[in-house]
Amino acid sequence: MAQQEGQTAHEGQSHPIGVYLKIWALLFVLSTASYLVDYFHLESYLRWSLILIFMVLKAGLIIAVFMHMMWERLALMYAILVPPLLVIVFMAIMAIESGYVFGNRGVFFLVGP
């Protein structure tokens, strides 16, 4: 198991070079795909969902393989990967807030002070 291999290796993280080359190629494909989203002028929800999918896949591959997170123990994995989830809450709050500000601005420019 890869999980065991990462733990028993006393010389730190040692994996075959091929793993990195494959992930590198995959990242190239994903980047090309996300560029093509813009190139073909995809719009609205199709555009946004494709951008997010490719973004999450790329980020996941970099963290898991290049940064060796998939071979680390749960103690480190949870300590690093769980706190950023709070950012989603912050993002949701600010999305609501900016929607409210946009509404106020609309009223202001329509009605006047």
Partner 1 sequence: MAQPATSTAAGTPTTPNNIDGFVADWSSDQRAFKNVPWGKAMMWIFLLSDTFIFSCFLISYMSVRKSTTVKWPPVSEVFSLSFGGTPIPLILIAIMTFILISSSGTMAMAVNFGYRKDRKKAAILMLVTAAFGATFVGMQAFEWTKLIVEEGVRPWGNPMGAAQFGSTFFMITGFHGFHVSVGVLFLIIIARKVWRGDYDTQRKGFFTSRKGSYESVEIMGLYWHFVDLVWVFIFAFFYLW
Q: E strands, the chain, where?
A: none
Q: Which two tokens stand for residue 112?
A: 């006047």
Which member of 97, 111, 112, 113 binds partner 1 (CB under 8 A)? Answer: 97
Q: Which of 66, 87, 75 is nearest to 15 (CA)?
A: 66
Question: Given candidates 43, 44, 45, 90, which one binds partner 1 under the rule CB under 8 A?
Answer: 90
Q: Name the amino acid, one letter, at 4.
A: Q
Contact predicate 112/46, CB 8 Å:
no
Q: Of these, 2, 5, 49, 73, which contacts partner 1 (CB under 8 A)?
A: 73
| Distance between CA atoms of residues 71 and 81, nearest Å | 14
Residues that bind partner 1 (CB under 8 A): 3, 7-8, 10-15, 17, 20-21, 23-24, 27-28, 31, 34-35, 37-39, 47-48, 51-52, 54-55, 58-59, 62-63, 65-68, 72-76, 78-80, 83-84, 87, 90-91, 94-95, 97-99, 101-102, 105-106, 109
